[in-house]
Structure 1
Amino acid sequence: MTRTEALDQARKAAHQAAYLAGEAERHAYGTHIHKTTALAAAGALWADTSRAYAALAQALPETEA
C-alpha cells in the first residue's frame, strides 16, 4: 500500500464515520435508542479505521508522482 492509497482509505473511512454520526444524531431525538446506539458504534469503528489508515500513511514513504 502506498501513502496515497492509505490517505484515500483514511478519507473514505472518515466520510463514512461522519455519515454515521449524522444518522445517529438524527435518530437520537426519537424512540430509536437501539438504532442510535448501533449507528454511533459503527461510526466510532469507522473513525478508528480512519485514524489507523492515517497513521499508516504517516509511516509510509512519500508517494512519488
Structure 2
Amino acid sequence: MPLTRAQALTEAQQAAAKAKRLAEYAEGAAHSGEPVNHTKTQRFAQAGALWADTSRAYASLAQALPELPADHENTEA
C-alpha cells in the first residue's frame, strides 16, 4: 500500500517524539555527576539526530504527497 500524507505526518510526529526523548536523555547524561553517564551523551545525541533526520524526511514526503479525502483511505483494499 502506498504511503499517504496522513501516514507520513504520523511517522514524522513519532520520529520527532523519539528525537526529543533522546535529546532529553543526552542532556541528562551531560549534566550527570556520574562520569559513566558522560559517555552516553554522545550516543544519545547521535541517535536523536538520526531520529530528527527521519522526522524531517517524513515531513518532506508528507509535503510532497497529495492530500487525499478522508474516506479514500477506508475505501482502498
For residue 63 of structure 1, report the CA deviation from its aligned partner: 2.3
The one-letter code matched in structure 2 to 1:5 is Q
Alignment RMSD (CA, Å): 0.7
Q: Percent identity?
A: 57
Runs of 4+ in 1 over 3 A off after TM superposition: none
Gaps of 5+ in 1: none
Please tell me whether residue 41 in structure 1 is matched to residue 30 in structure 2: no
- Structure whose alpha-carbon radius of gyration is higher: 2
Match of 2:12 in 1: 10
Q: Which structure carries more relative contact order (alpha carbon 8 Å, separation 6+)?
A: 1
Aligned residues: 65
Gaps of 5+ in 2: 71-77
Mapped partners of 1:7, 1:63: distance in 2: 13
Under a length normalisation based on structure 2, what TM-score does the superposition of the two structures give? 0.81
Under a length normalisation based on structure 1, what TM-score does the superposition of the two structures give? 0.95
